[in-house]
Structure 1
Amino acid sequence: MLYLLLIFFPITMAASTFVLRRYTNLVLAGALGTMVTQLLIAIQIPLDDPTRLLGVTLMLSTLNQVFLLIFLALGAFAFVAAWNIPHGENFVPIALLTLGQTCAVLLLQDPFITTLLLALTSLTAVLAIVDLPVGASNLVSARAIAAALKYLILMVVAAMLMYIAFVLSDIFRPGEIFDVVSPARFILALLTVSFGLRLAIVPFHTWLTDLVDYAEPLVAALIITLLNTTSLVVLILVFQSFPTLLFESVEVLWLMRVGALVSVLVSGMLAIAPASLRRTVAYLVLYNCGMVFYGLMSLSPVGLSGAIFGALNQTLAVMLLFISLALLERPDGRSPGVVRRDLLRRWPVAGAGLLVSSLALLGLPPLNGALSHMLIYQAAADHGWLELLILVLGTVLAGLGLARMASERLLGPSEELEVAEPLMLGETELDRPAARKLAPEPRSTAVLTIMLLVLCLGIGLYPQPILATIDQAIQNLAFIRVL
């Protein structure tokens, strides 16, 4: 019963909030209550206790529970932020529907049904990308539609490749049919391309940059934190369900690590080039995705711990990053269309959130991404100093890109000071326009940003409980023990 509640309760609430979507405050309050209820339900579900329902196995493992609790908490943060941040008219129903689908993905143990659910979540995400802001009278921009179509096509291709790989894996029996050439490498290649598309690994990354550029920040945060991270968990489940694919392809696994190294290095190089604030933010996210993918492809206990811990840290950092970005883009009474260079002075909480979240993605101590990066560096050193140097070089390049962004947009001189001009002949103070009143930062969203800041710092200073849970979950993975 708890499994069904965890899946269908947010879906039911999504239908209810869609009917009441005109009442924004009521809908957001209901969505926030749904997340709290979901957290209470998730805590009560027994771990590693499989249940059969209509021929399908449902089970919540320790690792999946950690991700599930993080997702639900981040969903609550997103709904609180939506009180003051622009969002689509149907953002809340779509977010609740996506969370319900994510819960199903984390509970189901059938790879075929998981493939269909991942494809379904991608279709749901497209609705969020093309959703109009609340109260908007204009149509969806052509660029937003193009970004949604690109994301839709690539995710459909990823689902088709994944389904073909699972079909071949199901009929593949080592040593029975193929004595000379094993199809395991072909199947592994299909899975690599499929999950490379979903995880935005270079060169399959263009959908993420377009998404960050043209979608609402909360929508981008929802897709990156929920769908990308869930895809990583599903890939671990695939390796656990079909370890033969790895055993038969040990000689070519280095190619997957090379792909991750290229992704890290190219993302760092792209971050250095002059770009808009949103585009630079997208490159920093791409860099972190490459780091996490490398930790997973190292197929070692240390690297896998760093990848899982890095994925958890990425969800927190990305949510903080896009909430801060949305606050920085709010109109504040100054002339629109002018590039601002004093965003940290104008929005101190949001500017600090953008800097801290970016530094967390880079793995700078004492933030939450530091330990996961250290574990991934250790896994790279085990495979050779060349791979470690490439990862470090990618980190340095991404750091330079962050420094460029901070210098150009955050740390500039204050633009609020106006030079008083002398009165002209016959002019009085009443003839001049009223002084500009710059809007302050919304208190509730500022408090939320500070909470995420403290959470990132707290995990960075005291990561042992989460890391111990991850290490315990990794011990149960058969492909790690054998490799």
Structure 2
Amino acid sequence: MLYLLLIFFPITMAISTFILRRRSELVIFAALGTVLTQVWIALQLPIDQPTRFLGVTLTLSTLGQVFLLIFLGIGVFAFVAARHLPHGENFVPITLLTLAQISGVLLLQDPFITTLLLASTSLTTVLTIVDLPVGASALVSTRVIAAALKYLVLMVVATVLMYIAFVLTDVFQPGELPGRISLARFILALLATSFALRLALIPFHTWLTDLVDYAETLVSAVTITLLNTTSLLVLILVFQSYPMLLVESAEVLFVIRLGALVSVIVAGLLALAPASLRRTSAYLILYHCGIVFYGLAAVSELGLAGAIFGAFNQTLAVMLLFVSLGLLERPDGRTPGVVRRDLLRRWPVAATGLIVSGLSLLGLPPLGGAMSHLLIYQAAAEKGWLELSILLLGTLLAGLGLARIAAERLLGPGEDTLVVEPLMLGETELDRPPQRRLEPEPPSAAVLTLLLMLITLGVGLYPQPLLAVIDEAIRGLAFIQAL
């Protein structure tokens, strides 16, 4: 059965690549073949035709197929980038295992099993965070271990809250007695808190900033692109399964939108404050997570379309962001540990990729994030001009933060030109140290970065095909029709 092959084939290959993990080139080649095989399987699966296996329903929607292909594409980019960027010894097998788990999340329709799969993906991610880099002779630092433990604890809390919410849905009956607080509000509050933890909304964001600061860039990219986007799709599935939670919880939805607005504003302010390149990148991602969550909390066709399109844009922009960041951090022959301000001159492709990814997260045209921001702004305007103004203010603050980090680290004067000093009395050319030879930008990594930039630009210029798929999926959602 193709459904089972899609899930268990990458698990088998993960075991094989784990055994051969010392032979990195062979492992990466095998992982690429595995992901391409999954792409072929995903294209062969029937759409919206449920099947039963051991009492569990398996089905793949059009939207699920699109995001499954996107996740597999992210896996391809991650494995190709692993040839040049630092990563753990077990990065490839763990990423294959994560892709298998995410495939199960997109195929299964049972909320309880989905909760367990999301919990298992979180445990798998912890293994990538604490994984020793290839060729490292030192142990994992305490800061990395602390970041992994923080992520693990918060994901366990999110899983417990989600499980409690699903248990309460079994006893929930619409239409409570007058004068009583509906149980639907409490359930929705639990779900909102659970997914706010997973999506790293402020004030539940600390795991993401620590992850970006201390983990390898590829680990951060895979975690944020795959798991955060999957969590958003699962929340949409929950709303589809229990639409009455939204019908009876208008006040809670307002509080959720307010929390998303606070997250957008605070993330913009944090991006504006002085911080490292990694930390500012984390704040830009937090800003975008708040924007996407607001679109979902708006519970309208425009807002939901913007949230789904924003989730798609986030996978591309964040992968481009961390690939560029990893290239900028590569040693180039200069003194390590010194803050460089001419990164655009030294690494033109990587620095341009960092700027493009930041602009895409901000929603500036003609990049991929423009359409999602426009839809979410329209949804906010339907709720009131005050909410729209807050979103625009958050975008302005985050944009100023991106401009600050670009001026401080990317657009500075070049440091390659050395002033030739005259020879001292009795000094010869042989007495001087050899001239420093700076490493060039890796050509294949630059091609990968350019390809990601072109895809982001293409999505921004031609969003209609993806919007058509999203609109078709939204029209079939029961909770949109019920509101």
Q: Common fold, TM-score beyond 0.5?
A: yes
Distance verdict in 2 for CA 1:392–1:136, change over 3 Å:
same
Q: Distance in 1 between matches of 2:91 and 2:416?
A: 34
In the alignment, which residue of structure 1 is the partner of 2:95? 95
- CA gap of 1:435–1:53, structure 2 versus 1, over 3 A, is same
Cross-structure match for 1:452: 452
How far does the alpha carbon of each residue in 1:57-98 deviate from its partner, in whole angstroms, 9 at most, with x for none? 111001111110000001000000000111111100111111
Gaps of 5+ in 1: none
Q: Decide whether the 8 Å contact of 2:261 with 2:387 is kept in 1.
A: yes
Counterpart CA distance in 1 for 2:445 and 2:321 is: 13
1:432-447 equivalences in 2 (<5 Å):
432-447=432-447
- Mapped contact 2:13–2:96 kept (Cα < 8 A): yes
Establish whether residue 55 from structure 1 lines up as the match of residue 64 from structure 2. Answer: no
Distance 1:350 1:27 in 2: 26
How far residue 175 of structure 1 moved from its aligned partner, in angstroms, is 3.7
Separation of aligned partners in 2, 1:9 and 1:457: 33
- The residue type paired with residue 9 of structure 1 is F
Residue 410, structure 1, aligned to residue 410, structure 2? yes
Please state if 1:67 is matched with 2:77: no
Which SS does the other structure have where 1:57 is aligned?
A: strand
**Structure 2 stretches lacking a partner, 5+ long:** none
Report deviation, 1:434. Answer: 1.3
Equivalent pair of 2:305/2:375 in contact (CA under 8 Å): yes
Displacement, 1:427?
Answer: 1.7
Residue 452 (structure 1) shift: 0.3
After TM superposition, give the deviation of residue 139 of structure 1 in Å. 0.5
CA distance in 2, matches of 1:161, 1:107: 23
Corresponding residue number in structure 1 for 2:461: 461
Counterpart of 1:80? Answer: 80
- Give the secondary structure class of the aligned counterpart of 1:52: strand
Deviations 1:374-398 (A, max 9, x none): 0000000000000000000000000
| Structure 1: distance between partners of 2:165 and 2:2 | 32
- Matched letter for residue 304 of structure 1: L
Name the counterpart of 2:144: 144
Instruction: For 2:454, give the aligned amino acid.
Output: V
Q: 1:320 to 1:383 in 2, by over 3 A?
A: same
Aligned to 1:336: 336
2: distance between equivalents of 1:178 and 1:45? Answer: 48
The reply on whether 1:280 has 2:260 as its aligned counterpart is no
1:118 CA drift (Å): 0.3
Alignment of 1:266-277 (within 5 A): 266-277=266-277
Structure 2 CA distance for aligned equivalents of residues 235 and 135 of structure 1? 40
State the alpha-carbon separation in 1 of the partners of residues 33 and 207 from structure 2. Answer: 32
Task: Give, in angstroms, the shift of residue 251 of structure 1.
Answer: 3.3
- How is 1:8-407 mapped onto 2 (pairs within 5 angstroms)? 8-175=8-175, 180-407=180-407
Residues 188 and 252, structure 2, Cα contact 8 Å, conserved in 1? no
Aligned partner of 1:390: which letter?
I
Check conservation: 2:189, 2:252, Cα contact below 8 A: no
Cα distance in 2 for residues equivalent to 1:383 and 1:475: 21
Per-residue deviation, 1:180: 2.7
**Paired residue secondary structure (2:57):** strand
Q: Deviations over 1:277-305 (max 9, x none)?
A: 00000000000000000000000000100
CA distance in 1, matches of 2:171, 2:113: 17
1:80-120 alpha-carbon deviations (Å, 9 max, x no partner): 00001111111001111111001001110000000001000
**In structure 2, how many angstroms separate the alpha carbons of the residues matched to 1:282 and 1:175?**
43
What secondary structure sits across from 2:381 in the alignment? helix
Q: CA contact under 8 A between 2:298 and 2:380: conserved in structure 1?
A: yes
Query: 1: CA distance between counterparts of 2:340 and 2:155?
Result: 36
* One-letter code aligned to 2:442: P
- The alignment partner of 1:87 has SS state of coil
Q: Aligned equivalents of 2:434 and 2:157: distance in 1? A: 56
Cα contact 2:243–2:482 (8 A) shared by 1:
no
1-structure distance, mates of 2:227, 2:472: 24
Per-residue CA deviation, residues 384-430 of structure 1 (Å, 9 max, x unaligned), is 00000000000000000000000000000001111011111222112
Secondary structure in 1 matching 2:358: helix
- 1:184-235 CA-to-partner distances (Å, cap 9, x unmatched) read 1000110010000000011100100000000000000000000000000000
- The answer as to whether partners of 2:368 and 2:459 remain within 8 angstroms in 1 is yes
- In 2, the alpha carbon distance for the partners of 1:308 and 1:175 equals 31
SS at 2:99 equivalent: helix
Measured in 2, the distance between the counterparts of 1:375 and 1:222 equals 26
1:28-77 Cα offsets, whole Å, 9 max, x none, are 00001111111111011010010111111111001111110000001000
* Alignment partners' CA distance in 2, 1:8 and 1:434: 55
Give distance in 2, aligned partners of 1:178 and 1:334.
72
Report how far residue 482 of structure 1 moved: 1.6
1:177 CA displacement: 7.8
Give the root-mean-square deviation of aligned CA atoms. Answer: 1.0
Distance 2:14 2:437 in 1: 39
Is the 8 Å Cα contact of residues 176 and 182 (structure 2) preserved in structure 1? no
How far residue 179 of structure 1 moved from its aligned partner, in angstroms, is: 7.5
**Alpha-carbon distance between aligned partners in 2 of 1:436 and 1:45, rounded to the nearest angstrom:** 56
Distance 2:128 2:83 in 1: 17
Bigger mean CA deviation after superposition, 248-257 or 293-302: 248-257
- In 2, distance between residues paired with 1:119 and 1:417? 52
Q: Distance in 2 between matches of 1:480 and 1:272?
A: 36
State how far apart, in whole Å, the 2-side matches of 1:124 and 1:447 are.
Answer: 30
Match of 1:428 in 2: 428
Taking the aligned partners of 2:332 and 2:362, their CA distance within structure 1 comes to: 30
Q: Provide TM-score, normalisation by structure 1.
A: 0.99
CA distance in 2, matches of 1:253, 1:131: 39
Write the distance in 2 (CA, Å) between the matches of 1:209 and 1:446.
26
- Alignment partners' CA distance in 2, 1:52 and 1:78: 33
